[in-house]
Amino acid sequence: MSVNETADIAWDRPDPFTLTFDVTPEDTDRLGHANNVVYVRWLEDISWAHIEHLGMTWERHEATGKAMAITRTEIDYLAAANTGDRLMMATWLVSFDGRFRSSRQFQLVRLSDRKVLARAMSYHACVDLRTQRPARVPKEYGEILGGAVITDGLVSD
């Protein structure tokens, strides 16, 4: 999908990292729309894709023995996604405390009508992969996360 095809999307913040995908029959529930569990999977998929794009690859996680684990997720479901819908998910890193915690914002748009289907926030804490206990962010993570945080540009409705 070209930039021109998505230039008219009203993103909540500038310069999002995006993924595009199609809703499959397996994504839907008894109500006929994408199940809430699938939204969580989409949030996770774009989060991993974004941090890997920034250079926080799984190999780097294994080498440092540290990773950012989700501590909380908030999702506002605004409209249904249905089988066959082509969707674009956007994400932004919106905070990083320089030591342990970060947060990420999401926006899900149906491409056919540019309707916002969901907005979400996730909160993360650095953990030691071996002990699963909180740990200080490695210096290289701090540089990557700190450099990627969007601190302005919030668009209000």
Band (pLDDT 50/70/90 cuts) for residue 141 is: confident
Give Cα separations from 17 to 13, 93, 109 (angstroms): 10, 10, 13
- Rounded to two decimals, the pTM is 0.90
Q: Return the exposure string of 35-63: e unless at least 16 CB atoms fall within 10 Å of the residue's CB, then b.
A: eeebbeebbeebbeebbeeeebeeebbee
Q: Tell me: the pLDDT tens digits for 66-125?
A: 999 999 999 999 999 999 999 999 999 999 998 999 999 999 999 999 999 999 999 999
Q: With 0-12 CB in 10 A as exposed, 13-18 as middle and 19+ as buried, what is 29? A: exposed
Q: Which amino acid is at 155?
A: V
Band (pLDDT 50/70/90 cuts) for residue 151 is: confident
Structure tokens at 53: 């794009």
Q: Count of residues for the chain? A: 157
Closest by CA position to 95, among listed 156, 150, 46, 14: 150
Band (pLDDT 50/70/90 cuts) for residue 7 is: confident
Element (H, E) at 52: helix 36-54
Residue extents of the structural domains in the chain: 32-148
Q: Which CATH superfamily is domain 32-148 in?
A: Hotdog Thioesterase (3.10.129.10)
